């Protein structure tokens, strides 16, 4: 990026860029009310098609990939330009659901680890709105142990043949390619025998199944890989060095959550399911507007909700000025989970019987939400994993004892269910 500043920023200042972006946005992008953004449900195919259209629009206008290098289809500008664009684009419809994982995780990782030809092909395609990328990391047997991959890739002539199962891949049904971690050597410790492949999701060997969550979302998928064959051009990084690539993905993921990423374009809300509870309305609906007990519970929830936002800004600043390490993004992940838990409990306590019997809109929605309370404590790494990360990478406490460290993977113990 510092290179980019020297070659391009001389030409146009941030303010000039901002003015040009503002004019272009007004002319080309659909305006919205930022307080009530249109819902972009990640589990609906039409939302992904819409995002592709909007991205193509940005690309054609010359505002796609502001911080991606020019040789891969971007503008090669500094973060300040992206931030200016984010400010200006707040009141326009943007392809926000492409930010994560396509741009901030997948493309960012390709930039760090892929070959020249792979970058030219895939990053450019993503910036044009032609390709959506996802991660195929987790496995049904795996839980928090991402490197404990059982999906195998075997050499067959000059091809690789992948077999296994992946799960919890967000929006895979709408995607074109997936970064898929597979085991290529079983005789070495678990991190040393992995290779990262970029596999076409539409490959006939891939069967895709949506997972229905209690909150009704079908955003996540499970994929069964049955003799999926790819060539050497699908290998990202080196064979048996796939964990380095996966580590970059995790790094970019934490960074995207914790402090924002220069590869994200637009910073509004995706809208939809995550509307916070309106306690004042809930208290009124259940006839408890004047109940001090209820008001105190709700007030406490509002306080924690506000602190969650304040912590976000604080961590962002602190990571940027170096007073907290990048892993501090995990503090936000954990605080968010704790706050949502507190809010769901508050909602249930306030609503009482109306939360369990009655009609949606009269309180029952609170009880239904409560049923998927743990979603925020599980998704994107469990709260337990988050506490490990904070303990080990923010506080530098000793790492957890791993029984599989240095042990050839084919000698590592698994549960009955995973065999």
Partner 1 sequence: LVPEELGGGSVSGDGFADLAMVAEQLGKTVAPGPLFPVSTVLAALVDAEPHAHAETIESLVAGESVASWAVYEPGRGWAPHEPSVTATATDSGYRIDGVKDRVEAGGQSDLLLVVARTDDGARQFLVRTDAPGVHVEPQQSIDMVKQYARVQFDGVAVDRGAALGGAADLIERQSQIAQVLQCAEVVGILQTVFDFTVAWALDRHSFGRPLASYQALKHRFADMKMWLEACRATTGAAVTAISNRSADASLSASIAKSYVGEMATEIIQACVQMHGGIGVTWEHDLHVYLRRAALYRSMFGTPEEHNLRVYALQEAGQQAPRSA
* 198-257 binders of partner 1 (CB under 8 A): 211-215, 220
**1 touches partner 1 by CB under 8 A:** no
**372 touches its own copies by CB under 8 A:** no
Q: How far is the CB of 339 from its own copies (least distance, A)?
A: 20
Q: How many angstroms separate the CA atoms of 322 and 231, rounded?
A: 42
Within its chain, how far is the Cα of 62 from the centroid?
25
Contacted entry of partner 1, its own copies, none for residue 23, CB cut-off 5 to 8 Å set by kind: none
**275 touches partner 1 by CB under 8 A:** no
Is residue 68 within 8 Å of 111, Cβ to Cβ?
yes
**325 touches partner 1 by CB under 8 A:** no
Residue where the block lists tokens 């043949």: 161
According to DSSP, the β-strands at 220-230 and 159-170 are: antiparallel
Cα distances (Å, whole numbers) of residue 83 to 14, 16, 90: 9, 13, 11
Q: Which stretch binds its own copies (CB under 8 A): 19-27, 75-83, 289-297, 410-418?
A: 289-297
**387 touches its own copies by CB under 8 A:** no
According to DSSP, the β-strands at 177-183 and 133-136 are: parallel
Q: For residue 75, give every residue at least 6 positions away whose Cβ sits within 8 Å of its Cβ, in sequence order, or none.
A: 8, 62, 63, 64, 65, 66, 67, 68, 81
**289 touches its own copies by CB under 8 A:** no
Q: How far is the CB of 253 from its own copies (least distance, A)?
A: 30
Q: Which stretch binds its own copies (CB under 8 A): 146-154, 181-189, 286-294, 335-343?
A: 286-294
Contacted entry of its own copies, partner 1, none for residue 36, CB cut-off 5 to 8 Å set by kind: none
The nearer residue to its own copies, 216 or 299, going by C-beta atoms, is 299
Segment 134-153, which members bind partner 1 (CB under 8 A)?
138, 142-145, 148
Three-state DSSP state, 354? helix
- Which of 69, 200, 271, 391 touches partner 1 by CB under 8 A? 391
Is residue 279 within 8 Å of 298, Cβ to Cβ?
yes
Q: How many angstroms separate the CA atoms of 377 and 327, rounded?
A: 18
Contacted entry of partner 1, its own copies, none for residue 395, CB cut-off 5 to 8 Å set by kind: partner 1
- Across 245-273, b (16+ Cβ under 10 Å) vs e yields bbbbbbbbbbbbbbbbbbbbbbbbebebe
The nearer residue to its own copies, 207 or 296, going by C-beta atoms, is 296
**292 touches its own copies by CB under 8 A:** yes
Contacted entry of its own copies, partner 1, none for residue 313, CB cut-off 5 to 8 Å set by kind: partner 1
Contacted entry of its own copies, partner 1, none for residue 168, CB cut-off 5 to 8 Å set by kind: partner 1
Contact track, partner 1, 327-346, x by CB under 8 A: -x--x--xx--x--------
Task: Give the closest residue to 408 by CA, choosing from 252, 198, 186, 244.
Answer: 186
**291 touches its own copies by CB under 8 A:** yes
Q: How many angstroms separate the CA atoms of 227 and 250, rounded?
A: 27
Q: By CB under 8 A, name the binding residues for its own copies.
A: 291-293, 296, 401
């Amino acid at each position: 990026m510092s290179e980019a500043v020297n070659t391009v920023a001389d030409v146009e200042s941030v303010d000039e860029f901002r003015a040009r972006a503002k004019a272009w946005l007004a002319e080309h992008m659909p305006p919205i009310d930022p307080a009530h953004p249109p819902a972009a449900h990640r589990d609906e195919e039409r939302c992904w098609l819409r995002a592709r259209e909007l991205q193509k629009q940005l690309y054609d206008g010359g505002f796609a990939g502001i911080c991606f290098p020019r040789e891969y289809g971007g503008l090669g500008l500094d973060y300040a330009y992206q931030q200016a664009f984010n400010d200006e684009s707040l009141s326009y419809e943007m392809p926000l659901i492409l930010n994560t994982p396509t741009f901030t995780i997948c493309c960012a990782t390709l930039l760090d680890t892929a070959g020249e030809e792979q970058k030219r092909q895939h990053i450019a395609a993503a910036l044009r709105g032609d390709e959506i990328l996802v991660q195929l990391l987790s496995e049904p047997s795996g839980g928090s142990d991402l490197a404990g991959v059982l999906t195998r890739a075997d050499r067959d002539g000059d091809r690789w043949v992948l077999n296994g199962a992946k799960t919890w891949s967000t929006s895979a049904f709408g995607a074109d390619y997936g970064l898929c971690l597979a085991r290529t050597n079983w005789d070495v410790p678990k991190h040393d025998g992995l290779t990262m492949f970029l596999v076409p999701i539409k490959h006939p060997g891939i069967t895709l199944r949506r997972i229905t969550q209690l909150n009704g979302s079908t955003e996540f998928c499970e994929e069964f890989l049955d003799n999926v064959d790819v060539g050497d051009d699908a290998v990202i990084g080196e064979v048996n060095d796939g964990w380095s690539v996966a580590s970059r993905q995790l790094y970019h993921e934490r960074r995207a959550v914790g402090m924002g990423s220069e590869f994200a374009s637009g910073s509004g809300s995706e809208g939809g399911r995550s509307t916070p509870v309106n306690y004042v309305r809930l208290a009124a609906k259940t006839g408890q507007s004047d109940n001090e007990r209820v008001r105190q519970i709700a007030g406490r929830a509002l306080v924690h909700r506000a602190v969650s936002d304040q912590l976000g800004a604080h961590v962002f600043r602190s990571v940027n000025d170096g007073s907290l390490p990048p892993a501090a993004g995990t503090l936000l992940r954990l605080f968010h989970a704790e706050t949502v838990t507190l809010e769901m409990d508050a909602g249930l306590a306030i609503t009482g019987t109306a939360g369990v019997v009655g009609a949606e809109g009269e309180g029952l929605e609170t009880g239904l939400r409560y049923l998927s309370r743990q979603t925020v404590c599980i998704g994107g790494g469990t709260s337990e994993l988050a506490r490990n990360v904070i303990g080990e990478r923010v506080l530098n406490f000793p790492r957890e004892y791993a029984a599989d460290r240095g042990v050839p993977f084919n000698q590592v113990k698994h549960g009955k269910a995973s065999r």
